[in-house]
Amino acid sequence: MGGKNEIKKVLLVSPRFNKGRHQISIHPLAGLGYIAESLKNNGFEVNVFDMNLQYSEKDLAEKIHSFLPDMVGFLIMTFGYKDTYRLIEGVKELEPNVKIAVGGPHISTLKEKVLQECSAIDYGVLLEGDKSFVRLCLNDDVKNIPGIVYRAEGKIRKNEFNEFIENLNELPFPRYEAFELEKYPVKQIGIVTSRGCPYKCIYCPVVSAIGRKFRARNADNIAEEIEYWHSKGYREILILDDNFTLVRSRVEELCWLLINKDLKDIRLKCPNGIRADKTDYELLKLMRKARFDMISFGVESASSKVLKNINKDENIDVIEEAIKNACSLGFEVSLFFIIGSPGETPEDVQKSFSLALKYPVAVSNFYNIIPFPDTELFDWISKNKYFLRPLEDIMNNASHFINEPCFFTPEMSYEERKRAFKNGKKISKIIRKRFIEKKLKGPEVLKRLFSCIYTIGVVEQVLTTNKSVIKLKEKLKQAVC
């Protein structure tokens, strides 16, 4: 690379998912938002191109031609990574002189292998890129930037990542000025108040992506961000943390700040799932007072044996108590379960179905458990030769949401896994219909009719993948509930 001012314009790209559940972005990506904010504060002209707003490769080419970036940064996930490789190769062919960097879970997990597989990539940014990617764009000597994978002298080299950001309060929170905010179908903003996970669940790739050490913003800092978005007309705020309630005192302080600010019509949600053992009735009651109205729990299984096998480090009685408390306090409750964990039997899955049906929750989702690289689960399956397909195919195509198991165990065969997933869909549908009928106003016959239509498979697909329909759904939700 050349002189100090060589990189002035940076384009950040979120590639499009052409299959699976997340084929359209509902709200801007917080991770790219943090990178964009850090770049802007260091004097770069930044633009973000979210292809999940239903943009095509041709649209991306036109964006590059009009914006003329010096650096293009791609978010890369393991699911569908081959499509992202092809997209990157197309950009490099179009603009051979543009520098291309990738960040996200796939590069953080596989590191040098990604650059080996895709020759169009110049740099990989591991784990947190808030500082390292900015230094890369500032043309600091790449050999001195922690957490960078790069090409030099015909070889691929890696600088170890050795410096997590301890004080998250020092980072500017995303204002999303480089995003097309008006094009998102729902007026929601997601915020991240902490990073890192100290737990050791055998299936979880989060540690490879954001690290094990828990770091958190303080309550004043979070309240400032919520108040900012409220002033911009946003009323629905999603807390996207993996461990929002890990430090109780922080949550309590935030709640009292929000109660005192009395932000009109604010609705706070925890959609990513919090640990049940890090809540109790009094904390949930305070969160309701602070206008939290939706909460998710990562249950994973109703079997104590399975919870132990996956190192969940939670007790099913504690989980059930948290669900009961949240329902009684009027939260819209979502539950996450995974199917096919080590040692799980069809009878264990049935226990999860029973628990899902026991309380008046809004949603219960049953997912395939996916063996991501660099996890204990992946190593266990590899060692025992339980994979059902070649690893390359599994990494590219395995999805939580598609009924195609990628491994088996002695306790659950391929056919039993397929059957359990299908039955989980039926249970989810029953729960969703029940909740919709409870929420709707009007005659019972119309409520039942609407809930039946709403939960038809093809209707659900349209409701989650069509931008115009999603907008209409939000308007109807406000009108009939």
**Judging by beta carbons within 10 Å of its beta carbon (0-12, 13-18, 19+), is residue 210 exposed, middle or buried?**
buried
Using CA atoms, how far apart are residues 327 and 265, in angstroms rounded to an integer?
Answer: 21
Residues 6+ apart with CB under 8 A from 264: none
* CA dist list (Å): 211 to 4, 80, 215: 32, 23, 10
Length of the chain: 481
The span from the CA of 53 to the CA of 295, in Å, is 26
- Are 33 and 184 in contact by the 8 Å Cβ rule? The answer is no
Q: What is the pLDDT along the chain (481 residues), one digit of tens a residue?
A: 334 448 999 999 999 986 655 568 899 999 999 999 999 999 999 999 999 999 999 999 999 999 999 999 999 999 999 999 999 999 999 999 999 999 999 999 999 999 999 999 999 999 999 999 999 999 999 999 999 999 999 999 999 998 899 999 999 999 999 999 999 989 999 999 999 999 999 999 887 777 888 999 999 999 999 999 999 999 999 999 989 999 999 999 999 999 999 999 999 999 998 999 999 999 999 999 999 999 999 999 999 999 999 999 999 999 999 999 999 999 999 999 999 999 999 999 999 999 999 999 999 999 999 999 989 999 999 999 999 999 999 999 989 999 999 999 999 999 999 999 999 999 999 999 998 888 877 877 776 776 776 666 655 655 555 555 555 555 555 544 4
Which residues are within 8 A (CB) of 458 and not within 5 positions of it... i.e. 6 or more apart? Answer: none
Angstrom distances, CA of residue 116 to CA of 105, 110, 120, 398:
17, 10, 10, 22
| Residue 340 · residue 306 · CB < 8 Å | no
Determine the Cα–Cα distance for residues 68 and 141; give it in Å rounded to an integer.
24
Q: Locate tokens 């249950």: which residue?
A: 299
Residue ranges of the alpha helices (H) in 138-218? 206-210
Q: What Cα–Cα distance (Å) separates residue 79 from each residue in 21, 91, 242, 255, 394?
A: 11, 20, 20, 36, 9
pLDDT for position 347: 98
Q: Are 5 and 141 in contact (CB under 8 A)?
A: no
For 70-93, give one letter per residue: b (16+ CB within 10 A) or e.
Answer: bbbbbbbbbbbbebbbebbeebbe
Beta bridge partners, 333, equal 295
Residue 481: the pLDDT is 43
Q: CA–CA distance from 217 to each of 178, 286, 378 (Å)? A: 23, 19, 32
pLDDT at residue 279 in the model: 97
Entry pTM: 0.91
